[in-house]
Structures are given as structure tokens and as C-alpha cells.
Structure 1
Amino acid sequence: MKLIIFDVDGTLLDSQHAIVAAMAEAYTQHGLPAPSREAVRAIVGLSVAEAVAELSAEAADHPQAEIGEAFKLSFMQSRARSPDGMALYPGALQIIERLAARGDVTLGLATGNSRRGVAHFIERFGLENHFVTRQTADDAPSKPHPGMILQAAAEAGVRPEEAAMVGDTTFDMAMARAAGARAIGVAWGYHPRDRLMAAGAETIIEGFADLPAALGLPEKAMAS
């Protein structure tokens, strides 16, 4: 194992309330019923365009591009109003710092978020020096297409089979399997355990403290 790739929303960052609220505002601005919390949770991880397409799949008259832009604006405004409104999950910062200090692995991100959103996330939590590769919805096809992992592996100088994807959705698991990488699910995110396993998760961790063992990383190799 040489590259560990993390999803952001639902894996490292608990952002569901902001996402659900922004999507509701985007739809109501266009005079449309807000999608349910369950429906929005189900599409977290996709790019905005793919997410709106899923939510409006049975409504051909929905202005999907406009809804997507309204969502982006609402989410950005919410983040600006309440910069502390989204928190890291327990243990997330500690595991990132612990793994980044090792000499035998490197870290990356693969998210349906935008470059701007990832930059805000990195700055907000002081993670500027921790990720060697950052794949976003602006850089690759939406999950579960394997492009994000393939590009991350190329940038990190490893083979896809030397990478592991850590995520909370079926999109993360399917993306990893399609790329030939390992797939590690998390128990606290937006998709249930049975769906993660069905999508290809080799295991599901209950907390970040379980991740090194799940990856088979020895207790060694701290960088000097």
C-alpha cells in the first residue's frame, strides 16, 4: 500500500446538513419541491451535475443546469456565513496527521466537490502539506468512473493496485474497484453498510483508529 485516497464529504467532513439545505434552496428558488434528506444523502459524492440529474431523473422539465448553479451559490454562501458549521468527523485530523508522518505512504483526496471547495477545506483545517494529489469534480469524470483514482495514482507515481480508496458511498467503492484499487468503507457516512459491501467494499471501519490495521500498515515508518 503506497497511496491512501480519502473522500471528503461524509468521510472526513460532516457536511450533510449544509448540502441538504443548499439543495433545498436551489430547488425552491425554481418553484420546485425540495428533495428529501434521504434523496440528497443518496447522491452525495457525485459531481453537482450528476447529483441534480439523479434528483430530477423523473422530471424532464427541471432546469438542471440552473438548479446546479443555484446549489453551488447557496452552498458557498452558507459556508461563508458559518465557517465553523461543518466539522471533521472524530479522529479524522489525527489519522491524517498520523499517516502523513509515515515514511511509507502518501495521501490523496478524491471528491465530487469542486477545486474551490477542496481549497477551502484544506485551508480551513490546515492540511496544506498533507495531500500529494487532489482530485475534484473539475478534474475528472464523476464517480464512480475510475478516472479520479487513475489520475491520483499517476500523480503519486504508483500503480492503481497500490492505492486504497477510503469513502462512505457506493460511488467510492465502485470507483475503487473499477480502477483496480482497494476499497475501504466507513460506517459513519451517507450510505448504509449493506450497500457499501454490495458495491465492493472489502471491509468497513467503525472509526479512523481502525484504518491502519484495515490497510495492513505496520506500526512503523514514521518520517524523520
Structure 2
Amino acid sequence: MYKCILFDMDGTLVNSYEGIYHSYQWALKKSGHSFPGEGFVQKAIGLTVPQALERLGKFSEDEIAELTKDYREYYARQGKYEAFPYPGIETLLKKLKKAGCFLGTATLKRTDFAVEMLDTFRLLSFFDAVCGMDEKDTKTKADLIEEGRRLAGASRKETVLIGDSLSDAQGAGMAEVDFLAVTYGFGFQKGNLPEEVKIRADTVDAIEKVLKL
């Protein structure tokens, strides 16, 4: 059993696709830009908002900053409520807490949004730390993992990140901790996992089995 268990949020703890989709749609249309649609949003999840917009390859730094501001304006007002926890997550968190694990998030979602979302879904009390993005988007996934690990007082071997995307896997690799891939989220699909992934769970219930609860 790991001492420190860190969770990605979008696509791992919560299905937040609708809120993310509408936030990008609103921000781009507000500025008079075309909205690329579902394919763009699927690739954007797991990235910071500026990173996702930069990959479109048509915005200046100032435009990305303004679009990010608009995205977060919609997300703060409405998008964060267009989400729900995956079935079984609350039960999983209860079992992990009962087992004495330190629970945290390592999410590229801004910390205040993450805290409010977890509180809305009555999951916040299970977490010992909510490690999320700062307002200037300066942290990496590896930074967030390291932050959570240090707060837990855990070694790298005692720490695991649970996530659903390649950026999660790469962040865990950079932080030198184990990574558990879930395939029920947005990033990974069953039978189509990158070589970085060594352990996987196709359902929330399967996470319990992998962690040997």
C-alpha cells in the first residue's frame, strides 16, 4: 500500500468534460474566433489552458492571456458546476482514508477551482492536500506531485499518481513516482496505452484491486 496517493482531477476523480467544452467554446466565440470543437477539447484536457490554446498555433501571447482569462471567467461562473464525480469515487476515497493513506490532488486545474469543486461534490474532507495550478500557470504536473509528496512526508517509492492522460504519466515519470493509469477518463483508451504506463485500471472499482485495499 502506498503512503501518499495523489489524484489527477479531470477524467480521474470527476467527469468535467461538459464544463471544459463550454468554457473553451465561450472564450473563443467571445473573442470572435471559431471554436475547433470536440477534437480540440479532448486533446486540451490534461494541459493547462494556455498550453492548449498555444497548440492551436494562431494566437499571440497577449491573445492567449485574454482567452485564458475569458475561459476562467466562464468556468468560475458556470463550467465548474457542469461536472460530476465518477461512480464509486466516494467509496474509494473512504476506503483509502480508512487505510490511513495521505490523499491529495495533483491537478492543472487552478487550486481555488479544485477546492470549490471538491467541496461541491462533498469530497473535500477526504483530502489532506489540494495541489493545483497557481494563477500565473507556472507549475508543472511534476511540481504538483512533488508538492503533494512533500506534504505527505512520503518517499518517491511510497507515492503514486492516479491519472488518465499522457501528461499525467510524463509528470509522474519526471517526479520519479509510480503512475496508475485509468482508462475510464478522457486521455487513455483500453488497449491503447503508451509505453510509459505499467499499471492500469479500467474502472474505479479496479483501482481498489490494484492498490490492494
Work out whether the TM-score is over 0.5.
yes
For 1:4-83, what aligned pairs fall within 5 Å after superposition?
4-54=5-55, 56-60=56-60, 63-79=63-79, 83=81
* RMSD between superposed Cα atoms in Å: 2.2
Q: Given the alignment of the two structures, is residue 88 of structure 1 paired with residue 85 of structure 2, yes or no?
A: yes
Instruction: Choose from 149, 156, 159 the match for 1:160.
Output: 156
Which residue in the other structure is 2:180 paired with? 184
Change (3 A) 1:196 1:116: farther
- The sequence identity of aligned pairs, in percent, is 21
Q: Distance in 2 between matches of 1:203 and 1:93?
A: 22
Instruction: Choose from 125, 131, 134 the match for 1:138.
Output: 134
Runs of 4+ in 1 over 3 A off after TM superposition: 58-62, 139-144
TM-score by length of 2: 0.90
Q: What are the ranges of 5 or more consecutive residues in structure 2 without an aligned counterpart?
A: none
Instruction: Choose from 117, 121, 125 the match for 1:125.
Output: 121
Whether contact under 8 Å (1:22, 1:71) holds in the other structure is yes
Structure 1 stretch 199-208 or stretch 113-122: which is displaced more?
199-208
Structure 1 stretch 112-121 or stretch 64-73: which is displaced more?
112-121
Instruction: Choose from 88, 98, 101 the match for 1:101.
Output: 98
Q: Which has the higher contact order (CA 8 A, sep 6+)?
A: 2
Amino acid at match of 2:188: P
Amino acid at match of 2:96: L
TM-score by length of 1: 0.85
Amino acid at match of 2:24: M
Q: What are the ranges of 5 or more consecutive residues in structure 1 without an aligned counterpart?
A: 220-224
Question: 3-state SS of the aligned residue for 1:117?
Answer: helix
Question: 3-state SS of the aligned residue for 2:126?
Answer: coil
Change (3 A) 1:173 1:119: same
Question: 3-state SS of the aligned residue for 2:181?
Answer: strand
Q: Given the alignment of the two structures, is residue 116 of structure 1 paired with residue 131 of structure 2, yes or no?
A: no
Change (3 A) 1:37 1:14: same
Q: Distance in 2 between matches of 1:86 and 1:28?
A: 22
